[in-house]
Structure 1
């Protein structure tokens, strides 16, 4: 077929009067396109669904008020629907002093909650170690996390900037100030909110080691480095009267590496993407031969500060 097509096109271009060099280049490009088009094959991949696993999202803090743990069931790789709630579980937390906190699921939607008996009571206390216990599907799962120290957010300021170098449109860039504790290594997560809405792009998953990005920075006890201080800016700069809230959360070393791997997986794409991999978990089945779980358990002390883009908060 390709030979007949080549002969026909060759005679046609001779009649038109195309030069020989131009005819050869055109024929080569056209035949390459036809060859590639003829190689197209539809592959209907049938992936093994595998067993369903318990997935745990347990991020508890020392903030006042309700604490929640979400339990779901894992879904097949190509399923895009909402995760199926894991209902009917027994969920509890025990601290190092023997205090027990029971979590219930009154709405039967997989969200298990604990509510304090007094407005000033908290579940989390800095320096305390907590054990999570879950009974689900005839299996018992456990995990342990320590609530570490966290520094206060000293201040938030704004500077007026161009939206981009070639635009006359201007906005405001935020910068916050926190100083790391000296001494033992400290691990943190930074979250920020614009007008009450959590900014949740892959790039907004910000983790900190002491006052830098890793142990190689030698930043123990220092002010957070500038790239971290300026990491609380969304895709578009802030406008006047926007409200910005910054949270700094203490995390464990295991949670630090879990979040780093999570960031890698959710931003894994493009030409140099690597095969997807399971993110590690600290949820353990007591029965070593029983089904494994996914997810993570973290206890975190939280400090925050809120600022509004007003004249008195803008710096030159």
Structure 2
């Protein structure tokens, strides 16, 4: 009984210490200044082009982004000498929702925004600030074919689906960078892991694949977690981008997948858009001009290879 009485004060002391360690910390997180966010990705496809302008929100603010509705947005085609603008395209915001649009005046209008090999300049004036960016439209190969094969969803599963595989061959002679996305039954697949990037049809830092067929991991990258089902419609869309655009998407993908116990604090991805005023407020986002090549197929016997249906 004496032994129990000796330990009793220690137990009470331990309980007191543990109880006293419960402290509620009410932190106040300062708001960051709002920045102009620019989503400007133009293509060589006919018809309407769009540039979206919004204001950034604080990290823990889950509300919709505020549209920027009072900006002046211009895109110019730069001369071959690089010292003048040969054509100008004025973007307007007809719906007052921050989506600035340009489209040909009519069906016979031959003006085209987006020609491979040409350079384009973006100019945005918002309030007292002006922002500019330059981007070139790179070359791009076609997507030669799109096929499907029946496979297990994973090696230990008895469930099967249809794996898509597209074929394309990199153009020889220079470094080429690609952004690839895919649609299932008309719906864009937009998980962070669905951001597919390729360098010369392979991964940046891998063996030299200049001028070769895209490697298999890239060819088979456009697949959902449980693969496709019979009669699914699949569209592969490939865009050629600059090395700066590749780096932007590479860093953005890393930010989107930045989670877990040891995740680093989120940070803005570097932009190619600059404020013309020294020390003026920076913008976020990126300006790209890309040629687009697509291939669409349905999971039917016509496009099956290997074991078939």
Q: Which has the higher helix share?
A: 1
User: 1:161 aligned to 2:151?
Assistant: yes
Q: Measure, in 2, the Cα distance between the counterparts of 1:40 and 1:260.
A: 42
Shift, 1:291, TM fit: 1.1
Matched, 1:103 2:104: no
Contact 1:65 1:121 in 2 (8 A): no
Structure 1 residues 176-255: aligned runs within 5 Å? 176-255=166-245
> Residues 43-122 of structure 1: matches in 2 within 5 Å?
43-97=25-79, 98-119=86-107, 121-122=111-112
Is 1:315 the counterpart of 2:305? The answer is: yes
Give the superposition deviation at 1:163: 2.4
Distance 1:303 1:64 in 2: 13
Q: Which has the larger radius of gyration?
A: 1
CA RMSD of aligned residues (A): 2.3
Structure 2: 5+ residue runs without aligned partners? Answer: 80-85
Please state if 1:286 is matched with 2:276: yes
What SS class does the counterpart of residue 120 from structure 2 fall into? strand
Q: 1:50 to 1:308 in 2, by over 3 A?
A: same
- From the superposition, tell whether residues 228 and 287 of structure 1 become closer, same or farther in structure 2 (CA, over 3 Å): same
Q: Distance in 2 between matches of 1:227 and 1:88?
A: 45
Which consecutive residues of structure 1, in runs of 5 or more, have no partner in the other structure? Answer: 11-30
Alignment equivalent of 2:136, drawn from 146, 165, 169: 146
Distance 1:207 1:105 in 2: 32
Shift of 1:36: 6.2
Greater shift after overlay, 212-221 or 186-195?
212-221
Q: Is the 8 A contact 1:151 1:180 kept in 2?
A: yes
Distance 1:285 1:87 in 2: 19
Structure 1: distance between partners of 2:62 and 2:265? 19
Report the equivalent of 2:8: 7
Inter-partner Cα distance in structure 2 for 1:36 and 1:205 = 47
CA distance in 2, matches of 1:40, 1:234: 45
Distance 1:312 1:35, change over 3 A: farther
TM-score by length of 2: 0.89
List per-residue Cα deviations over 1:216-261 (Å, max 9, x = no partner). Answer: 3211111111111010001121000001100110101100000000
SS at match of 1:264: helix
Cα deviation 1:38-72 (Å, max 9, x = unaligned): 63433222122122111100000001111000000
Indicate conservation of the 8 Å contact 1:64/1:121, yes or no: no
Alignment equivalent of 2:116, drawn from 126, 129, 135? 126
CA distance, structure 1, for counterparts of residue 205 and residue 153 of structure 2? 33
CA distance in 1, matches of 2:21, 2:53: 46
Q: Distance in 2 between matches of 1:310 and 1:65?
A: 31
Deviation at 1:166, TM superposition (A): 3.9
Q: Using the alignment, how far apart are the partners of 2:210 and 2:304 within structure 1?
A: 29
* Count of residues in Structure 1 that have an aligned counterpart in Structure 2: 294
Q: Secondary structure at the match of 1:154?
A: strand
Offset of residue 312 of structure 1: 1.7
Tell me: CA distance 1:40–1:180, structure 2 relative to 1, closer, same or farther (3 Å).
farther
